[in-house]
């Protein structure tokens, strides 16, 4: 049976009440939208000015308030700095290092409580969503430490006369158009990002959070996600690339996936006579306890641990390029850390499965050569130039395991003094069994020596040094060493048969120890570094003295052999000249 609507009196009365309420709500919404916008605009402007001590000013075009939905939509918002106030604060030495400019086409505020704002003076918002925001940050290093005026007030102290508290559950900025202008260097560097998302959770400004250092701009957590970032270095020789970068202020963990530092083409480095060309990539770089606040303000890098996982690092040396003159102390790791433009304090750097490759061209052979350290893992401890940290611990320690040429197990330890004016250091290590012929990719182009045969049993070294001198002990145990001395032409290597035979017969010691049960040879080495010799070259020259001496080619023998080769070469050239002269005379007489 059909039920007739509004049959009874109570139904008619209820319908009238509902209709009246709807009309009231519609009228209220109209008047709220009409009169709320200017009130809200004035409130926003006053709050921004007061909370930032007049450094920033805000404005918007209009706003729509939806009472039933508890939603407010604000259009065309701008937040910009007052440059007169900024310049005044700069002269007073407490202007911030970062200035912000924000433009938003549409801002949606959900779950807003206007009655609580009106009656209790508490601004309580569930969520804010910013559509198509444009954020510009300008960085100038105005000061290196916090410098605030004596009468400095917290944000809450400034707004408490207008608002008792501000709470926002979540702020979302999607597809941010981000521009970063950095004036801290010798010239302006501009970065522009497009695929950037920010999610900010639980903002609270009241008496309990006004001095809460765990919050970032009063947010409990700010999550940053950056995708497909690419930036060219100022010189144009390198560019940086990150597939995805994530950071959370709550966990203080920075994670970069698909990180690369890529160089320009080799021809560009050759044309500019730049000696070294570097390349680096890693599947993951993760920094724990990363102090984003300090980095954002002062570009100081603080982290408890940095992990580099599955990476590749390569160096290509252009030997045709001119060698830098002067004292190349900056190539020392302890000097490089000390002279960094940024303050750095990293407790631990952990490497996992990193391949290191050095490539270059021999000066005499003009042919390419390379050496690799594969699957390198280890720790670098106390990487810092922070004065207070150096007073506590001034030693940087390194421990690595690797595989030389993907075969020989290598273990090394090193210690660098970070404050010693002599730039002192020490390193030791061992290399296990491997086929010495694997080293021909290095010895042939760089030394014009081919290892015809040889088995390494054990190699150890223990060296102490500083900026002028290194010394220590080197031990090399091997069997069945045979070499061939080489020369080159434009096409290939050629064997120097007679000299090779003499070297194997009269100079080279084929085994160490010479016989079973005999005492192995080891050598005390000493190397005086020339000022223009970089660190790793001085390491190689120090070890090379012990390696060659063990094989019978000690400095005295090397000097004698070079003198003999020089006389042999001079005699050969003289013989060739006399032969050419006799041929010329016979040709003349024949004519």
Backbone angles phi, psi at 389, to 5 degrees: -65, -35
What's the pLDDT tens digit per position in 125-180?
888 888 878 888 888 888 777 665 656 678 878 788 888 888 889 988 888 888 88
Q: Are 158 and 51 in contact (CB under 8 A)?
A: yes
What is the separation, in whole angstroms, between the first and last Cα of the chain? 140
Residue 354's alpha-carbon distances to 201, 281, 285, 310, 415, in angstroms, are 37, 9, 12, 5, 21
pLDDT at 182 over 70: yes
pLDDT at 569 over 60: yes
Helix (H) or strand (E) holding 47: helix 9-51
Selected residue with higher pLDDT from 303 and 104 = 303
Selected residue with higher pLDDT from 399 and 153 = 399
Is the peptide bond preceding residue 513 cis, with omega within 30 degrees of 0?
Answer: yes
Q: Are 449 and 443 in contact (CB under 8 A)?
A: yes
What's the pLDDT tens digit per position in 219-271?
999 999 988 888 887 677 898 899 999 999 999 999 999 999 999 888 888 88
Selected residue with higher pLDDT from 365 and 4 = 365
Residue 89's alpha-carbon distances to 57, 86, 94, 493, 517, in angstroms, are 16, 5, 6, 70, 80
Band the pLDDT of 481: cuts 50, 70, 90.
very high
Band the pLDDT of 5: cuts 50, 70, 90.
low
Q: Determine the Cα–Cα distance for residues 567 and 396; give it in Å rounded to an integer.
A: 49
**For residue 120, what is the DSSP state?**
I
Q: Are 504 and 546 in contact (CB under 8 A)?
A: no
Q: Are 547 and 474 in contact (CB under 8 A)?
A: yes
Average pLDDT over residues 37-42: 60
The SS3 call for residue 61 is: coil
Return the pLDDT at 313. Answer: 96
**Six token digits for residue 201:** 């959770």
Return the pLDDT at 4. Answer: 55
Distance of CA 586 to the CA centre of its chain: 71
Band the pLDDT of 588: cuts 50, 70, 90.
low
Return the pLDDT at 416. Answer: 97
Q: Are 108 and 129 in contact (CB under 8 A)?
A: yes
Q: Are 290 and 302 in contact (CB under 8 A)?
A: yes
Helices (H), 324-459: 333-338, 387-392, 440-447
Burial letters 414-451, b for 16+ CB under 10 A, else e: bbbbbeeeebbbbbbbbbeebebbbbbbbbbbbbbbbb
Lowest-confidence segment of 25-29, 301-305, 361-365, 561-565 by average pLDDT: 25-29
Q: Are 135 and 101 in contact (CB under 8 A)?
A: yes
Burial letters 175-194, b for 16+ CB under 10 A, else e: ebebebebeeeeeebeeebe
Band the pLDDT of 2: cuts 50, 70, 90.
very low
Average pLDDT over residues 74-99: 86
**Six token digits for residue 394:** 């001034």
**Six token digits for residue 319:** 């030997």
Band the pLDDT of 210: cuts 50, 70, 90.
confident
Return the pLDDT at 371. Answer: 94
What's the pLDDT tens digit per position in 275-329?
889 999 999 999 999 999 888 888 899 999 999 999 999 999 887 777 777 888 9
**For residue 189, what is the DSSP state?**
E
Outline where DSSP puts E strands in 466-492. Answer: 469-488
**For residue 337, what is the DSSP state?**
H
Average pLDDT over residues 65-87: 80
Q: What is the DSSP string of 225-275?
A: EEEEEEEE-TTSSEEEEEEEEEEETTTTEEEEEEEEEEE--HHHHHHTT-S
Selected residue with higher pLDDT from 261 and 43 = 261
Outline where DSSP puts E strands in 443-533. Answer: 449-465, 469-488, 493-495, 522-528
């Amino acid at each position: 049976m059909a039920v007739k609507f509004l049959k009874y009196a109570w139904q008619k009365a209820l319908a009238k009440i509902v209709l009246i309420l709807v009309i009231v709500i519609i009228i209220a919404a109209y008047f709220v939208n009409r009169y709320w916008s200017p009130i809200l605009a004035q409130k926003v402007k006053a709050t921004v000015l007061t909370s930032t001590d007049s450094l920033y000013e805000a404005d918007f075009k209009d706003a729509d308030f939806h009472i039933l939905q508890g939603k407010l939509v604000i259009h065309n918002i701008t937040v910009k700095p007052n440059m007169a106030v900024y310049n005044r604060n700069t002269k007073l030495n407490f202007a911030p290092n970062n200035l912000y400019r924000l433009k938003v086409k549409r801002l949606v505020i959900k779950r807003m409580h206007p009655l609580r704002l009106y009656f209790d003076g508490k601004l309580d918002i569930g969520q804010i969503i910013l559509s198509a925001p444009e954020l510009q940050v300008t960085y100038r290093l105005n000061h290196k430490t916090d410098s605030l005026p004596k009468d400095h007030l917290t944000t809450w102290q400034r707004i408490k006369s207008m608002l008792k508290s501000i709470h926002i559950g979540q702020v979302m900025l999607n597809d941010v158009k981000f521009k970063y202008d950095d004036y801290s260097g010798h010239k302006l560097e501009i970065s522009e990002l497009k695929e950037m998302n920010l999610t900010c959770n639980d903002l609270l400004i009241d008496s309990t959070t006004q001095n809460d250092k765990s919050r970032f701009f009063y947010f409990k957590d700010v999550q940053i996600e950056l995708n497909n970032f690419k930036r060219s270095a100022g010189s144009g020789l390198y560019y940086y690339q990150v597939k995805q970068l994530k950071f959370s202020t709550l966990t203080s963990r920075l994670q970069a996936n698909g990180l690369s530092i890529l160089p320009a083409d080799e021809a560009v480095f050759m044309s500019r006579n730049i000696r070294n060309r570097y390349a680096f990539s890693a599947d993951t770089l993760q920094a724990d306890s990363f102090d984003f606040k300090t980095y954002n303000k002062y570009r100081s890098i603080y982290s408890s641990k940095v992990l580099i996982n599955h990476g590749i690092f390569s160096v290509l040396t252009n030997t045709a390029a001119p060698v830098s003159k002067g004292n190349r102390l900056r190539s020392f790791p302890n000097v490089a850390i000390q002279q960094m433009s940024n303050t750095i304090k990293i407790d631990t750097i952990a490497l996992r499965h990193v391949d290191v490759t050095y490539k270059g061209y021999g000066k005499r052979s003009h042919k390419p050569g390379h050496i690799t350290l594969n699957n390198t893992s280890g720790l670098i401890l106390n990487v810092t130039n922070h004065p207070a940290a150096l007073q506590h611990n001034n030693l940087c320690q390194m421990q690595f395991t690797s595989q030389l040429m993907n075969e020989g197990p290598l273990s090394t330890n090193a210690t660098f003094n970070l404050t010693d004016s002599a730039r002192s250091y020490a390193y030791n290590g061992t290399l296990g069994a491997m086929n010495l012929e694997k080293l021909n990719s290095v010895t042939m182009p760089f030394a014009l020596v081919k290892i015809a045969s040889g088995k390494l049993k054990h190699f150890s070294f223990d060296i102490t040094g500083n900026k002028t001198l290194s010394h220590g002990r080197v031990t090399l145990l091997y069997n069945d060493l045979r070499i061939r001395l080489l020369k080159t032409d434009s096409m290939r290597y050629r064997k120097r048969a007679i000299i090779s035979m003499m070297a194997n017969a009269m100079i080279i010691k084929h085994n160490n120890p010479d016989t079973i049960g005999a005492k192995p040879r080891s050598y005390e080495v000493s190397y005086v570094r020339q000022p223009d010799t970089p660190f790793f070259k001085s390491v190689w020259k120090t070890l090379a003295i012990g390696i060659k001496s063990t094989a019978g080619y000690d400095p005295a023998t090397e000097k004698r052999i070079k003198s003999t080769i020089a006389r042999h070469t001079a005699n050969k050239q003289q013989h060739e000249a006399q032969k050419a002269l006799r041929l010329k005379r016979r040709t003349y007489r024949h004519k």
